[in-house]
Amino acid sequence: MLNSHQSEILIVDDIPTNIKLLYEFLQQSNYRVSIAKNAESAFKKLEKIVPDLILLDVMMPGMDGYEVCEKLKRNPETRDIPVIFMTARTDEVDKVKGLSIGAVDYITKPIHPDEVLARIKVHLALRHTQMQLLNEITERKQTEKELHEALDELKRVHIQLVHNEKMSSLGHLVAGVAHEINNPINFIYANLHHAEHYVEDLLGIIRLYKQHFPNPPREILDKSEELDLDYLQKDLVKILDSMSLGTSRICDIVLSLRKFSRLHESEVKWADIHEGIDSTLTILQGNLQRSGYPDVQVIKAYGSLPLIECYAGQLNQVFMNLLSNAIEAINERDTSRTVAEVLAEPSTIKITTEVKDKRLIIRIVDNGSGIPKNLRSQIFNPFFTTKDVGKGTGMGLSISHKIIAETHNGRLWCEPNLDQPGTQFFIEIPIPLHQVLSPTGSKQTSGSQA
């Protein structure tokens, strides 16, 4: 709703009685009023203020109202200010001339305050809604652009996760993407609600104007037909509904990704390491189960661990990378083995945890194909991969090493198995003394699921 306290009207008239009459009833109606008695004075006023509407007398000494209006419309800073002509002339030719050079309405003298006030309210409302519409259109275009960019980014990340990294770096990448997408999407989603209300208010004003002024000037009718105003009103609401639905869907996707990467919790938090490993194994359950071969067996030899103050979501990504690589190495080795051989020497991943010398140690051992000695020193380098083109980006172990070494001030390294094929990875993270005193319990289990 338009607030008259915020609207300023400039009266340009050389007749003192008209000025006095207009000034008094506009002041009583809570408008801010400025006065100019001729064209020169009006332009000086416009250097200091930008009124919301101008009441302009046609017949003035020196530059008349038509000339003033033409000059106003040539100036980018004043051309959008509504101008209402005031004149004693009733000639249709004069009215057409005034409207053709940019005026929005005509007031015929003698002045009737109620009529003037009604016309002022209508045109101030129209200007207000016009500005809102322009702003909404600009914001909508920006919203659509950001929405498309967000969708493209989600698609890109999805393809990269599923096809390139086979989920080995899912948590780390998802955490970054979810965080970066969350802010603009929340901004878009929050403002769409306001946009819907603004558009509804705007359309309501247009309906009221059509109701109270069923026969507007020909210029307005022509423009309405050109824009197909009825269709525009319906379609604008549909577009906003579609945008709201789209942003809601993206918010849901981002929330799901954030839950997996645990960004909804404090980044540094007390975490049960065993719980993190178990949840990762649950996600990888489908990879552990195999068709045509016995399932990969997971042996858990968990020691007595305290709750660890750490970046839990990031550690989950390390577990995901290491366990995914172990499963791939086992599958690679088993392609050259028969089912009988696998049954005789089962494919296994053993996970051991313990606290030793105030340090958390996690050991993940597989009996897969192993890592050649000449490649062992390169596996933590960014983009290094032994996989075929399109099957890996070489970022999984690099990201894992960064999380352990830089974020948790620990160590991540690998060694060959001495008594069987495969590889063993070690994670070592320092633990403050006060944390060592609160064990979470120990257990040893084996099987193909977490």
Local mean pLDDT, 10-residue blocks, the chain (450 residues): 65 89 88 90 89 90 89 89 86 82 86 88 87 86 84 59 44 62 78 82 83 83 81 82 80 58 60 85 82 91 90 84 91 90 92 92 92 76 61 68 87 86 92 57 52
Q: Is the Cβ–Cβ distance between 42 and 132 less than 8 Å?
A: no
Q: What is the DSSP letter of 58?
A: S
Residue 441's pLDDT is: 53
**β-bridge pairing 8-12 and 53-57:** parallel
∠ CA 412-302-432, nearest 5°, is 60
356 φ, ψ (degrees, to nearest 5): -140, 125
pLDDT digits (tens, 9 = 90+) for 357-387: 889 999 999 998 888 777 777 777 766 666 6
Amino acid 316 reads N
- With a CB cutoff of 8 Å and minimum separation 6, the contacts of 400 are 317, 318, 321, 322, 380, 412
197, 281, 375, 399 from 394: Cα distances, Å: 49, 22, 13, 9
Residue 255's pLDDT is: 59
One-character DSSP codes across 371-401: --GGGTTTTTSTT---SPTTS--S-HHHHHH
Please return the burial class of 51, using the count of CB atoms within 10 Å of its CB with bins 0-12, 13-18 and 19+. Answer: buried
Residue 395's pLDDT is: 63
Tokens of 348: 């296994």
Residue of 247, 252, 257 lying closest to 161 (CA atoms) = 257
Place of tokens 């991969």: 385
pLDDT digits (tens, 9 = 90+) for 37-47: 998 889 999 98
Mapping DSSP to helix (H, G, I), strand (E, B) and coil, where does residue 348 land? strand
Tokens of 357: 């010398």
3-state secondary structure 178-206: HHHHHHHHHHHHHHHHHHHHHHHHHHHHH
Q: Is the Cβ–Cβ distance between 124 and 7 less than 8 Å?
A: yes
Q: Is the Cβ–Cβ distance between 93 and 101 less than 8 Å?
A: no
Amino acid 107 reads I
Residue 99's pLDDT is: 86
**pTM to 2 decimal places:** 0.43
Quote the CA–CA distance of 328 and 415 in Å, as a whole number: 17
Count, residues in the chain: 450
Residue 330's pLDDT is: 92
